[in-house]
Structure formats: structure tokens, C-alpha cells
Structure 1
Amino acid sequence: MIKFATIGTNWITEEFIKAAKEIPDFSLKAVYSRTEEKAKQFAAKVGAAQTFTSLEELANSEDIDAVYIASPNSFHAEQAILLMNHGKHVLCEKPLASNTAEVQAMIEAAKQNSVVLMEAMKTTLLPNFQAIRNHIHKIGKVRRYFASYCQYSSRYDAYKQGIVLNAFNPAFSNGALMDIGVYCLYPMVVLFGKPLRIKASSMMLESGVDGEGSIILDYGDMDAVVMYSKITNSYVPAEIQGEEGSIILDTIHTPQKVEIRYRDGRIEDITEAQLHHPMYYETKEFIELIQNEKRESEINSHYHSLTTIEIIEAARKQTGIVFPADK
């Protein structure tokens, strides 16, 4: 059994716990919140016996093996490094941190303390992403990767009324690229590695974060185009175009249907059954790394996380997105 604590009392933490409880070796021991009242309320809701309001006490607890972090992006690095310095394994929500320097510091802490650090990017561990990796050779030379994730944020209505919630506050290292665009970029990096150069554009909001944006990425013999938004919806599928055919994904973040459309008109359904909650697969990967005494996922690897944040940071520099964490 791997004994977990969680940081964050939001809906994503609830979803994580729901998914993780499908795994026999998962044991939820504690939850953390800055306030005792919220910690107790959340613990009662999710069935945790213990609460923490001090990160230091959580880090020093011998009852905890691993921590799932779902706090605002700007807190990820500091919290993760503290926990890893006390021997805790860390599964941290995407994006892993605010910038490249923070991710590098987190990776160094993981190595120094011989603990698992993994970015909780669900997409790349889903059965249908594995199907893409298994079948991509069938489409011949890949010439383009296209991914769009545009989802109107429920918090945008409040923003338009003058209320700037966390999702649109640069103090928390948020915005469309960080929160949504990462879902387009991380799978691309796993499939194709690091691009040679990028060209980014963003639609900036008055609060100092991007509401939407696009990036063109040059790989030399192929290109990639990603679009993301927190202020509009999009309904177009993702596509990997090859010289012999194209792989079509219904969505980039949680693909449920994947097919190959060949140049000769044939259509091959390569969809794999997803039998569990989407967050089950990342949690299972993380737990198995701990149990097998491995320190890094081959798919959600340190290299893939570092490359993704390097792309994000380069795009931010091109479009003028600056966070307090950068200073």
C-alpha cells in the first residue's frame, strides 16, 4: 500500500481521489489545506482520517509515502521540493511548475533525494494515446501535428464582471497556455521531442494572463500547430498527418475515439477501451514506479516535462506573459 496525502481541496483533487480509489494499492491517509475548517470539511468529503494545515508537519509525517499536489501552479515547486527533501514521492498536477528554473530545481531535488517526481499529465498514459504510439508507423512520414483545446472557463463570466479569480490571475502562474495549452504540447513532446524553433501569439487579458493563443512549432521535416483558449470553445478534433494517412483523435486531452484515415480511402479504428477513470492510469503509473523502485516514468519523464515547460516559457517570452514567479 502506498499511503497518500493530497494538497488542494478543489474538484481536480476529488477526481484524483475517485480515480485512485480504483487502485488496490492506493491508500488515502490525509489531506492538506491552509485552514483547519476547509481541511476537515474536505477530509470528511473524501474519507481521509487525518488533516494537515502545516506543510512542514506533512513533510515530516512518517504516515505518508507520497503526495499529490493540486495547488495553484505558482506553489508547485516550493511545495514539491519541501516534500521531496523529506523523502516524499510527488505526483504534481500539470503544468509541473511556473517556469524552467523551477522545474529544473524540482528534478534536482527528486534526484538528490531518490524519490519519484512525475507530472500528472493524464493524456499520455491513457490507452488511446498508447494506441497512437503503437500505430503511428502506419501513416508513413509524419508531416504535421495539429491539436486544439479551447474550453470556455466558467470563471471567465466572473472575470467579465470585474472579479479576477485564480484562473485569470498571473500571481498564480495561470492563463490559457499554462492551464489548457499544456495538454496540446505535452503529447506532442512525447511523440516528437523538442522542436527546432517556435512562433507564438497570444490574446492578452487586462489581468496580465493570456485568454487564448496559438503556437507554430518547427521540427525541420514536419511542423506542429496548437491552439488553446479559456475564453472560447472549439469542437475540432486533433490530427497527426502522415504521407500515407492521418490519425484523427476526437479530443487531445482525453481521446475516446482514434482512427486512421488512409490516402486510399480506408478507415481503421484503432480505439482502445478505456475501462477506468481518466486519472486512474497516471496514478497507477506513479504507484508502480514507487513499488518497483524506479525514480522516473519513461512516458511522463523529467525530460518531457522539462522540454514542455521550455516551450511554454519560450512562448510566454514571445508574447509578453510574465509571472511574479519569473522574477
Structure 2
Amino acid sequence: MIRFGVIGTNWITEKFIKSAKEIDDFSLVAVYSRTEERANEFAEEFQIPYRYTDLESMAKSDHVDAVYIASPNSFHAEQAILCMNHGKHVLCEKPMASTSQEIRKMVEAAKQNRVLLMEALKTTLLPNFQAISEHMAKIGRIRRYVANYCQYSSRYDAYLNGKVLNAFNPKFSNGALMDLGIYCIYPLVVLFGKPSQIKANSVLLETGVDGEGSIVMNYGDMEAVVMYSKITNSTMPSEIQGENGNIIIDQISQPGRVDIRYRNGITENITLPQKKETMYYEVKEFIELIKKGQLEPTINTHQNSLIAAEIMEEARQQSGIVFPADRK
């Protein structure tokens, strides 16, 4: 059994627990929260034996093998490094850190302590992303990647009413790019690597974070276009365009249906069944890597996480989005 502690007591942690409990080798033993009341409340709900309000105490605990981090983005690096320095494996929610510099420090800590560090970006570990990878050669030479993730945030309603929640607060390294844009960027990096040129544009809110934006990236013989928003909705699919056909992806964040539409008019459904919750696959991958003694992920690699962070960093710089973490 891999004994997990969780950092963060929000809805995403609840989804993580629900998915992870389907894995035989998963055991939830500890929770950290800033307040004793919330730690106890969460622990009672999910039957967690150990609860902490001091993170270093949980990091030092002999009861914990691995930690899942789902705190605000600005805390990821510091919390992950603390846990890794005490020998804990770390599965860290996306984006893994505020800046590429923070990710480099996290990777160094993982190597020094010989523990596994993985970004919890679910898309690239889902069955239908594997289907995309395996069938991509069928559409011939790739010329364009188009990814779209625009989802109106209920927190934007609060923002319009004068209440700035974490989602729109630069203090926590948030905004549309960090929250949703990464779902467009990370699969691109896994499939095609690092672009040679980046051009970004954003619509900034009064707090200094982006409400929506787009990035065009050049790969020499192909280009990538990504669009993301927390202040509008979109029902447009994403696609990979080749000279012989297109791969149509219903949702880039969690592909549920994938089709190839060839130039001759034939459509091929390459969708694979997904029998588990979306987060199940990332947790299963993480646990299997630990059990194999593998110290770096095979898909959500440290290098892929670093490239994705560098793309977002450049996009933020071009758009004028500055986080407190940028000044460190």
C-alpha cells in the first residue's frame, strides 16, 4: 500500500480521493489544513486517521509515503520541496508551480532526495489521449494543432459583484492561462515538444490576472493555436490537422470522443472506453511508478512540465501578467 497524505481540502481533493479509492494500492492516512476545524471536518468525512495543521509535521511523519498537493498554485513549490526533503513522493496539481524557476528547484529536490515528483495533469494519462498518440500517423504530416478550453467560472460572478476569490487573485498565481490554458498547452508539449516561437494575447481583469487569452506557437513546419477563458463558454472541439485528415477531440481537458475525418470523407471513430473517473489514471500511473522504483514520470516528465511552464511564463510576460512569485 502507498500511504497518502493530502494538502488542500477543496473539491479537487475530494475528486482525487474518490478516484484514488478505486486503486487497491492506495491508502489515505493523513490530511493537512490550515485550521484544526477544517482538518477534523475533512478527516471525519473521509475517515482519515491523521490530521495536521503543521505541514512539516506531516512531512516528517512515518505514516505517510506520498503527498497529493492541491493547495493554491503559489504554495505548490514550497510545500512540495518541504515534503520531498523529508522523503515523500509528490503528486502535485497543475500547474506544478508558479514559474519555471520554481519547477527547476522542485526537480532538483526530487533528484537529491530520490523521490518521485509528478504533475497531476490528467489529460495526457487518459485512454483517449493514448488513442490520439497512437493514431496520429494516419493523418499524415501535421500542420496545425488547435486546442480550446473556455469555461465560464462561477467565481467570475462573485468577481463582478466585487468579491475577488482565489481564481482571480494574482497573489495565488491564478487566472485563465494557469487554470485552463495549461490543459491546452501540456498535451501539445507531450505530442510535439517545445515551440520555436510564441505570440500571446490576453484580456486582463482589474486584478491583473487574465480572464481569457490565446497563444500562437510556431514549430517550423506546423503551428499551434490555443484558446482559453474563464469569462466565456465555448462548445468548439479541439483538433489536430494533418495533410491527410483531422483528429477531432471533443474536450481537450478530458477527451471523451475522438474521431479521424479523412480528406476523402471517411470518418473513423478511434474512441477508447474510459471506465474510471478521469483522475483515476494519473493516480494509478503515479502509484505504479513508485512501486517500480522509477524516479521520473514517463509521460508527464519533468522536462514536459518545465517546457509547459516556460510557455506560460513567456505568454504571461507578453501579456503583462505578473505574479508575486515572478519577483522572487
* TM tier, smaller: over 0.9
Equivalent in the alignment of 1:258: 258
Q: Distance in 2 between matches of 1:155 and 1:309?
A: 24
Equivalent in the alignment of 1:276: 276
Instruction: State how 1:199-210 maps to structure 2 within 5 Å.
Output: 199-210=199-210
Describe the superposition over 1:167-200 as per-residue Cα deviations: whole angstroms up to 9, x where unpaired.
0000000000000000000000000000001000
Equivalent in the alignment of 2:40: 40
TM-score for the superposition, normalised by structure 1: 1.00
Aligned residue type for 1:125: L
Aligned residue type for 1:179: D
Equivalent in the alignment of 1:218: 218
Describe the superposition over 1:41-94 as per-residue Cα deviations: whole angstroms up to 9, x where unpaired.
011112211101101101110000000000000000000000000000000000
Q: Distance in 1 between matches of 2:263 and 2:245?
A: 5
Percent sequence identity is 68
Q: Distance in 2 between matches of 1:15 and 1:142?
A: 35
Q: Distance in 2 between matches of 1:87 and 1:230?
A: 37
Q: Distance in 1 between matches of 2:4 and 2:107?
A: 20
Note the C-alpha offset of 1:298.
Answer: 1.1
Equivalent in the alignment of 1:26: 26
- Segments ≥4 residues shifted beyond 3 Å: none
Instruction: State how 1:1-327 maps to structure 2 within 5 Å.
Output: 1-327=1-327
SS in 2 for 1:147: strand
Note the C-alpha offset of 1:3.
Answer: 0.1
Describe the superposition over 1:212-243 as per-residue Cα deviations: whole angstroms up to 9, x where unpaired.
00000000000000000000000000000000
Which sections of structure 2, spanning at least 5 residues, go unmatched? none
Q: Distance in 1 between matches of 2:197 and 2:95?
A: 21
Q: CA RMSD in A?
A: 0.4
Aligned residue type for 1:46: F
SS in 2 for 1:75: helix
SS in 1 for 2:272: coil
Aligned residues: 327
Q: Distance in 2 between matches of 1:56 and 1:30?
A: 13
Note the C-alpha offset of 1:15.
Answer: 0.1
Q: Distance in 2 between matches of 1:239 and 1:105?
A: 34
Q: Distance in 1 between matches of 2:68 and 2:189?
A: 23
SS in 2 for 1:276: coil
Note the C-alpha offset of 1:261.
Answer: 0.3
SS in 1 for 2:261: strand
Q: Distance in 1 between matches of 2:30 and 2:153?
A: 30
